[in-house]
Structure 1
Amino acid sequence: MTTKDTGTPWRHARGDVAFAIVNYAGFVLFALVCGYPFYYLIINSISANDLSALGDVRLFPTGIHLENYTQIFGLPGLTGSLLVSIARTVIGTGATVLASAFLGFMFTQERLRHRSLWYRLVIFTMYFNAGLIPVYVTIHTLGLTNNFWVYILPAIVQPFNIILVKTYVESLPASLQEAAEIDGAGIVTIFFRIMLPNMTPILATVAIFSAVAQWNSFQDTLLYITDQRLYPLQYRLYTYLNQANSLAQAAQNAQGDLGAIASAATTQTPTSIRMTIAVIVVLPIIFVYPLFQRYFVKGIMLGAVKG
């Protein structure tokens, strides 16, 4: 027996439907498993703090309120750290993307003198480095300690990103550049007017890598920064998590007389502080992925495999 429209055997058609159902069910289950930790953070950050501290909030928020966020943003230094993280992410990502695009493009140009040598030197840094102490001495000598630019300058040139861009550019038709050269365009014009607009998928991939790395980074703060005004949000989170108990007590004391009559549902606890700050840190970077998702797969595949 076959289907009326296509002549496909019924057994084969039913097998395809069954496979599709199982396939989609598996992906939905996997998505739920991956998404639940973030959902758990959010519902606990807006639920009654006494119930959250006891672990009673698991599936649905209970006693919804937003006082946690109001009080957390009132903690000293948090707003400034948020601005530092946003600034380093935006500036650092833009600089890294532009540098990766230009270097990746230039390493495809046969006219570049000693092109293979420079490319090998860049790749060499992926496997070997001077070590922590020489790097620190270099950073200190350049005057970048306790300087905002220590977050930006050392991270601009990333060999892995350059490899991706170079391979992607090599997959583009050579006729694009040849036609521009015939019209008299120089190398800078070709890069900005011809090549850069055609690099969107791979540059979106590089932007994701760079933005996530910049937003989540805190080790450079630990090594090079002692000025608390330059602490990014991640490092501030680290210090707050270590001080959650004292911060909860400070938040309660800051309420003064109101604290004595405040509901237990809105009184800060170490758990509420951890959950709320974690949401503040995680949510912005989560929103980056949907914006670049349509470019990500195409960019990483074309940038990794030539042809």
Structure 2
Amino acid sequence: MKKKSNLTASDILFNIVNYTFFIVFTLICIYPFYYLIINTISANDLSVNGAINFWPKKIHFENYINVMKIRGLGRAASISLFRTVLGTAATVLASAFLGFMFTQQRMWKRRLWYRFIVITMYFNAGLIPMYLTMKSLHLTDSFWVYIIPAIVQPFNIILVKTYVESIPASLQEAAEIDGAGILTIFRRIILPTSKPILATIAIFSAVGQWNSFYDTLIYITNQKLYSLQYLLYTYINQANSLKALINNNAGTGGNIMALATQQTPTSVRMTVTVIVCIPILCVYPVFQRYFVKGIMIGSVKG
């Protein structure tokens, strides 16, 4: 026998309105990405005139093929991928360990060091002192300028510290009774129980590392160390002034001339945007189940 529904007319109406609202909201969030994709695979003359809004027309993939022809694209993509993986791992590990240590009463001058890190969130020396510091540390024109300055992030440390404080102290006490040291407690208790907040930090760090191009602009002159975003950024600037570039590079303008006849600045910007966004969009589903729990628990207490 079928069970009778306990939903009232007002409940049914609420569900209809609720689902309708979130479906519309989801479509609004998805549409910008959809718009970019259909414009990159449609005829460039139609795209630049704003004729592509809902469906692609005269589908082609020349935009992606031409972007892939950029000199040094593979090396730049490798640099961005390597800095994202290594930088994220270093930031997560440092944030986890420092956040954990700042919860330990036995740590020497714990409050002093914690305030010393937090205060850096409010004061910044500026671009020139930062550049001089990197130069004196021999980090300019070095891959490690992408990694080392981003390892210690005060906001991430605060999130981890707050999260660790929500973990029952009895777990650590039991481990200490069994003879576990700080590193053992950190590795076997804190890391496994802190997956939500660490996944949240991993997302923050990965997005920041992948999207960063400003550090390349400031610290790097060696083209072999260009990140993908910086290379595409320069390519967008070239696309916006193709005529000037062709005039200035008449002797070596073969590839540029080909791009000028096949692409427009609008198609270049959209294609580059899609290429840059897709890897990060693939990261979110992996960590999504941890993200909400981690950011909520890590921000409520403290």
**Same fold per superposition (TM over 0.5):** yes
Q: Tell me what 2:212 maps to.
A: 217
Q: Which amino acid aligns with 1:227?
A: N
Question: Structure 1 278/251 Cα, relative in aligned 2: closer, same or farther at 3 Å?
Answer: farther
The within-5 A match list for 1:152-301 is: 152-244=147-239, 245-246=241-242, 250-251=254-255, 253-254=257-258, 267-301=262-296
Structure 1 unaligned residues grouped into runs of 5+: none
Greater displacement, 111-120 / 39-48: 39-48
Count of equivalent residues: 291
Q: Which amino acid aligns with 2:135?
A: H
What TM-score do the two structures reach when normalised by structure 1?
0.88
Q: 1:251·1:268 contact (CA, 8 Å) conserved in 2? A: no
Q: 1:45·1:275 contact (CA, 8 Å) conserved in 2? A: yes
Q: Tell me what 2:69 maps to.
A: 74
In structure 2, how many angstroms separate the alpha carbons of the residues matched to 1:250 and 1:44? 26
Kindly indicate whether residue 104 of structure 2 is the aligned counterpart of residue 109 of structure 1: yes
Q: Which residue among 97, 100, 103 is the counterpart of 2:95?
A: 100
In structure 2, how many angstroms separate the alpha carbons of the residues matched to 1:91 and 1:250? 37
Q: Which amino acid aligns with 2:131?
A: Y
Question: Structure 1 252/237 Cα, relative in aligned 2: closer, same or farther at 3 Å?
Answer: closer
Q: 1:96·1:155 contact (CA, 8 Å) conserved in 2? A: yes
Q: Tell me what 1:31 maps to.
A: 26
Q: Which amino acid aligns with 1:126?
A: M
Structure 2 unaligned residues grouped into runs of 5+: 247-252
In structure 1, how many angstroms separate the alpha carbons of the residues matched to 2:217 and 2:180? 47
Give CA-to-partner distance per residue, 1:5-64, whole Å, 9 cap, x none: 57x6x7xx2112211211221122122222211111111112223322332221112222
Q: Tell me what 1:131 maps to.
A: 126
Q: 1:122·1:159 contact (CA, 8 Å) conserved in 2? A: yes
Q: 1:234·1:281 contact (CA, 8 Å) conserved in 2? A: yes
What TM-score do the two structures reach when normalised by structure 2?
0.90
Greater displacement, 160-169 / 220-229: 220-229
In structure 2, how many angstroms separate the alpha carbons of the residues matched to 1:156 and 1:126? 14
Greater displacement, 22-31 / 103-112: 22-31
Alpha-carbon deviation of 1:223?
A: 1.3
Q: 1:200·1:295 contact (CA, 8 Å) conserved in 2? A: yes
Question: Structure 1 251/60 Cα, relative in aligned 2: closer, same or farther at 3 Å?
Answer: farther
In structure 2, how many angstroms separate the alpha carbons of the residues matched to 1:116 and 1:253? 61
In structure 1, how many angstroms separate the alpha carbons of the residues matched to 2:118 and 2:266? 45
Kindly indicate whether residue 55 of structure 2 is the aligned counterpart of residue 60 of structure 1: yes
Kindly indicate whether residue 145 of structure 2 is the aligned counterpart of residue 150 of structure 1: yes
